[in-house]
Amino acid sequence: MSVNDDRPLLDPGASAVSPRQLWRRFILFGFAVVLVVTGLGLRLFQLQVTDAERYTALAVQRRQRTVSLPVTRGLIFDRRGRQLVENVPEFVVRITPGAIPFTLRDAVAERLGELLEIRPVEIHRTLDSVTGSTFDPITLKTDIPERVARIIAEEHLGLPGVTVEVTSRRKYPYGPLVSHVLGWTGRVSAEEMDRHEGEGYLPEDTIGKAGVELTFERELRGTYGVDEVQRDATGRVMNVLRTLEEPRAGDSIQLTIDLKLQREAQRALQWGMRLARLQRGVFLVMNPQNGEILAMVSLPAYDNNEFARGISSARYRRLARDPHRPLINLAISEQLPPGSTYKLVTGIGALQDRKITPRTRLRTKRFITVAGTKMFDWHLTGWGPINIYGGFAHSSDTFFYQVALKLGIDRLAYWAHEFGFGRKTGVDLPNETVGTVPTHAWKRQLFSQNIYPGETAQAGIGQGFDMVTPLQLISAYGALANGGTLYRPQIVRRIVDEKGKTVRSIKPEVARKLPIDSSLLRVMRVAARNVLVVRHTYNFVDVPLVISGKSGTAEYGVRDSKGRLPFHSWFVGWVPKDPKRKAGDPNGFKAAGGTDSELVFLAFAYDSRTRGNAATEIAKYFLQLHYGIQRDYRNPELMIKDNFYGQ
Amino acid sequence: MGALRLHPARIAGLSPRAVSHAWSVFDIQLALYALALVIIGLLMAFTNSGDAPLETGSVFTRALMWMAIAIIVFTLAAAFDYRWSSTFSWLIYLVNIGLLVLTLVIGSGVGGVSRWVSIGPLQLQFSEMAKVFMALVLAAWVAGRPAKVESLSTIIGAVLLTAPPLALVLIQPDLGTSLVLGAILVGTLFMAGASIRWLVAGGVLVVALIPLVWTYVLQDYQKQRLISFLDPAADPSGSGFQLLQSQIAVSSGGVFGRGLTNGTTGAEYLPVQTTDFVFARVGEELGFLGGILVLVLFTLLLWRVLVIGWRCRDPFGLAFAGGVAGMLLFQLMVNAGMVLGVMPITGIPLPFITHGGASLISTALALGLLESIAMRQGRAGG
């Protein structure tokens, strides 16, 4: 086909569509244009002319809003006023998804990712995953170096919707030393938001997550103020219209913990754990006269500063999956077999129930036969006929099998409950567990059968189904030491306001007066002194203090190839108010019989398998440190792994 | 059609006489309406530049620069013989696909988002160019099948041609621009005379596919925006915030507007005033009269686009005009509709007025090519 200027390009003959049809299309399209434009014009008319007033009113209403004014969180001190937590300023980058133009999102994400060392995808994901209002800023990263914070602040024009704020976060100067007691604070979760609805928590707020930071959240947090403000379209506050609620700073709390004792306890426990290659341990110190916990060490511990700074999920997973469970406070959250320390309950129960008297002698031997089963003593021969003083001091298993059988499982459980086992102590720390006190009813519910006599005998020496927490055990011995008053253990003494004025003192709380004759309690105290005097605990008696107490070896788990069971070691004991030995009381029985003790202590060594009782050595070292005893009575050779067991 | 049919190569077309003849039939109305819209865009850029609109790098000076570039592009496109674009339509198509793939590969943004290719200080948004390229390619396709234009195969072919670039834009992800490509497809087919019955059937099919798209294609933030469109008052300080704020801003303009630069520079109403919501600024500062002026100018412009297509007596020109008109009408409807609260937020720019070079340049190119068509129609249709 030749080409020239005047050639009619549209050749109707070649097309299947007639010009008439095309004309109709042309008109139809024009009609569509008019329709769209008319529609838009009418809407414009509606907005700007007929409904203008309504929208103006809406605009005013939308620009008023209430905002919360966060206040400083209260501090935490030890009983001598040492500061255990600080509030330190921290730069935080926050982003308001709704304030970023869609076309700038990529650029903002890229630049911000570069500055904060986050992958831009993560930023997009954060922006897209907003569930609440897109005009509520969300925290992108905390703990920003000042240099980066400054750059972001300078580049604010290129980073719309991005702000740098100074907030405060917790710093725990003693870290792992008191982390199980203090706990930590973190970002409030959706679940916590629901639980604390109406208490003024903000979406990005900080909340206590563990320890006293959690149990005393309400006191530490204070009351956020509420202002009604006028804001611009970006949500920026322009001016305050009125204050609806005055802010009130959080109160501080003073713990019962004495940092000096805490250090001594930690040092003693760490020494023992290192020497005996132990993975877990507990050391507790308490004042039996009021239930105040003076030291609470649970190892392994974690550094709560890691949490306060915002722990990475990978690091958190590692801590949570650690087989030795550093995040768990073993003193209150772990149930453990008490072993021979439980013989206190069996002995005193039988005495009070008049099943035995302090003079009743029972024959101890290699084993006794219970319902056709041989039940062995830890000692190869036994000690012949002995009374409660000897039975407790030598920790004779066959003695206490017989006592437990005289008492029966349900009476044993009754006395265990009286001492606070099988129920929460009520300490002001979270995640306390109750342990197990076996009864017929308990076993029927679980296994549809009664307790066998053999199991009763086992329960009498703190084995079998018995499970306790270290805090329950020290409280029970505290009740023995003070003459029969079981206190609720407490970790906070008082709450003080900003100016140091006491807002509330937390008074000692009596959980129960034990229905036991004071003379019988005295029998058990003397028996506990006898434990040391008969040298059941090696040379512990040589330490120049009147120490009374009970060691325990608690088997658990499964037998190894040689038929041996792994075991934990316990020692729980006390010293009188004046712990020095007196000339007129060579064995200390007189002092041990008193009820003026102000220091009860407990050492626990998880899976010790040492030649001697590792807990006893740890307790000994603590007393040496605490009372400044220069001579060293420790027996490192007892800390050798040897799978010693018995007693 | 085929790439080998080199029909309009005319040396004579470059002779001084022919050139002056061509410029004498230059469609001055089209250029004037477009210019008027660009000037309104410039005014908005000025008022959005804050305290120092004349400083280098301000929104206003950048808008001035882009206007200059747009005028050059427009003039060059008008001088260019549009029939070559039909000849090289396959090449254009492949280049278009190549640029979109390039955007995905080296575009800025990591994982999921890549809309720009940065070359030095310039950020090139090839999806804007893709609109014009697709209008050209589709016009060449339907014009190449004059006898079969009403058959289903024409529609299927056009859909198959559009699908790859549309998909490439969609996964950037840029839902708005991919919808514009769909509008170009419909505009082209409609004006070229494709079967109305099949077009309607296709429309029904697309509607039927919406649930699938919702589930598998749309990103969460896109869904959120659609939901907030359906009920902006449900959470007025949340997702519906921008929607309601823009209506409030428009409403505050009243009949005569607050006057240029008297708008709320402190962003009293609109958090994002400089981008896709610029029409709200028009309503706020220039009032109902200003808004109507913009709508009237768009109407006149679209009228000229259609008239050029109709008069050129070339199936290619007619189809191309249909595509461009579809593009402009759709963008006006969606963008202004979004600002006025009758359309969901999709991030589609308002031609001429939204700041940003890519949109303006592609619009200038499209209009320049239309001028080229107008100038080469001869007097046959006059």
State the ipTM, two decimals. 0.86
pLDDT at B34 over 70: yes
Q: Three-state secondary structure along A87-131?
A: EEEEEEEEECHHHCCHHHHHHHHHHHHHHHCCCHHHHHHHHHCCC
CB A421 within 8 A of CB A437: yes
Looking at mean pLDDT, say which of A191-205, A498-512, A522-536 comes out highest.
A522-536
Q: Given pLDDT bands bounded at 50, 70 and 90, which one contains residue B234?
A: very low
Contact check, Cβ <8 Å, A52/B254? yes
Looking at mean pLDDT, say which of A52-66, A111-125, A472-486 comes out highest.
A472-486
Dihedrals phi, psi of A139, to nearest 5 degrees: -80, 125
- Higher-confidence residue of A154 and A323: namely A323
Region of residue A543 (phi > 0: left; psi between -120 and 50: alpha; otherwise: beta): beta
- Please give the average per-residue pLDDT across A134-138, as a whole number: 72
- Higher-confidence residue of B129 and A260: namely A260
Could you tell me if B271 lies within 8 Å of chain A, comparing CB atoms?
A: yes
pLDDT at A74 over 60: yes
Report chain A residues whose CB lies below 8 A from the CB of B235: 133
Two tokens, residue B311: 């008069």
pLDDT at B1 over 60: no
Dihedrals phi, psi of B55, to nearest 5 degrees: -70, 150
Looking at mean pLDDT, say which of A417-426, B104-113, B255-264 comes out highest.
A417-426
Determine the Cα–Cα distance for residues A476 and B77; give it in Å rounded to an integer.
96
Query: Which of A47, A98, A160 comes nearest B251 by C-beta?
Result: A47
pLDDT at A307 over 50: yes
Contact check, Cβ <8 Å, A26/B298? no
- Please give the average per-residue pLDDT across A38-53, as a whole number: 88
The predicted pLDDT at position A325 comes to: 92
Mutation pick from B251, B299, B300 vs chain A, by most beta carbons of A within 10 Å, is B251
Q: Could you tell me what percent of chain A has a pLDDT over 90?
A: 63
CB-facing half-sphere around the CA of B223: CA atoms within 13 A: 15
Could you tell me if A42 lies within 8 Å of chain B, comparing CB atoms?
A: no
Helices (H), B115-151: 126-143
- Please give the average per-residue pLDDT across A471-478, as a whole number: 97
- Please give the average per-residue pLDDT across B347-372, as a whole number: 88
Q: Given pLDDT bands bounded at 50, 70 and 90, which one contains residue A9?
A: very low
Contact check, Cβ <8 Å, B221/A48? no
Share the mean pLDDT of chain B: 79
pLDDT at B376 over 90: no
Could you tell me if A36 lies within 8 Å of chain B, comparing CB atoms?
A: yes
**What are the Cα distances from residue A410, in Å, to A347, A372, A415, A416, A464?**
15, 22, 9, 10, 15
Helices (H), A155-258: 179-182, 190-195, 211-215, 217-221
Share the mean pLDDT of chain A: 88
Region of residue A240 (phi > 0: left; psi between -120 and 50: alpha; otherwise: beta): beta
Could you tell me if B209 lies within 8 Å of chain A, comparing CB atoms?
A: no
Could you tell me if B98 lies within 8 Å of chain A, comparing CB atoms?
A: no
Two tokens, residue A190: 């959706």
The predicted pLDDT at position A504 comes to: 93
Rg (CA), chain A: 36
Q: 3-state DSSP call for residue B382?
A: coil
Q: How close, in Å, is residue A168 to chain B by CA atoms?
A: 27
CB pairs under 8 A between A and B: 224
Could you tell me if B276 lies within 8 Å of chain A, comparing CB atoms?
A: yes
The residues, ordered by sequence, that sit 6+ positions from A25 with a Cβ below 8 Å of its Cβ are B190, B191, B193
The residues, ordered by sequence, that sit 6+ positions from A316 with a Cβ below 8 Å of its Cβ are none
The predicted pLDDT at position A125 comes to: 79
Query: Which of B245, B287, B312 comes nearest A48 by C-beta?
Result: B287
The predicted pLDDT at position B298 comes to: 95
- Higher-confidence residue of A295 and B115: namely A295
Q: What are the pLDDT digits (tens) for A325-375?
A: 999 999 999 999 999 999 999 999 999 999 999 999 999 999 999 999 999
The predicted pLDDT at position B374 comes to: 87
Q: Given pLDDT bands bounded at 50, 70 and 90, which one contains residue A503?
A: very high
The lowest-confidence range among A372-381, A506-515, B49-58, B367-376 is B49-58
Determine the Cα–Cα distance for residues B373 and B375; give it in Å rounded to an integer.
5
Query: Which of B7, B283, B298 comes nearest A48 by C-beta?
Result: B283
The lowest-confidence range among A229-243, A321-335, B41-55, B115-129 is A229-243
Query: Which of A25, A62, A132 comes nearest B191 by C-beta?
Result: A25
Two tokens, residue B106: 């080296």
Q: Which residue of B has its CA nearest to A231?
A: B268
Determine the Cα–Cα distance for residues A298 and A467; give it in Å rounded to an integer.
18
Q: Given pLDDT bands bounded at 50, 70 and 90, which one contains residue B241?
A: low
Amino acid at A598: E
Rg (CA), chain B: 21
Could you tell me if A16 lies within 8 Å of chain B, comparing CB atoms?
A: yes
pLDDT at B379 over 60: no
The predicted pLDDT at position A366 comes to: 94
Q: Which residue, chain included where needed, has tokens 């009237």? A: B296
The predicted pLDDT at position B45 comes to: 83
Determine the Cα–Cα distance for residues A187 and A136; give it in Å rounded to an integer.
16
Determine the Cα–Cα distance for residues B317 and A9; give it in Å rounded to an integer.
10
The lowest-confidence range among A55-64, A116-125, B354-363 is A55-64
Q: Which residue, chain included where needed, has tokens 């954060």? A: A126
Separate counts of helices (H) and strands (E) for chain B? 14, 2
Q: Which residue of A has its CA nearest to B190?
A: A25
Determine the Cα–Cα distance for residues A615 and A627; give it in Å rounded to an integer.
18
pLDDT at A2 over 60: no
Nearest partner of A492 among A507, A502, A476, judged by Cα: A507
Count of Cβ atoms closer than 10 Å to residue A448 Cβ: 7
Determine the Cα–Cα distance for residues A326 and A606; give it in Å rounded to an integer.
13
pLDDT at A384 over 50: yes
pLDDT at A540 over 90: yes
pLDDT at A647 over 50: no
Q: Given pLDDT bands bounded at 50, 70 and 90, which one contains residue B324?
A: very high
pTM, full prediction = 0.63
* Residue A507: DSSP 8-state: -
Could you tell me if B333 lies within 8 Å of chain A, comparing CB atoms?
A: yes
pLDDT at A167 over 90: no
Q: What are the pLDDT digits (tens) for B212-222?
A: 777 776 666 66
Determine the Cα–Cα distance for residues A543 and A296; give it in Å rounded to an integer.
23
pLDDT at A616 over 70: yes
Determine the Cα–Cα distance for residues A570 and A607; give it in Å rounded to an integer.
11
Amino acid at B267: A
- Please give the average per-residue pLDDT across A26-40, as a whole number: 92
Beta bridge partners of A146: none
Could you tell me if A117 lies within 8 Å of chain B, comparing CB atoms?
A: no
Report chain B residues whose CB lies below 8 A from the CB of A14: 146-147
Q: Given pLDDT bands bounded at 50, 70 and 90, which one contains residue A12?
A: very low
The predicted pLDDT at position B123 comes to: 66
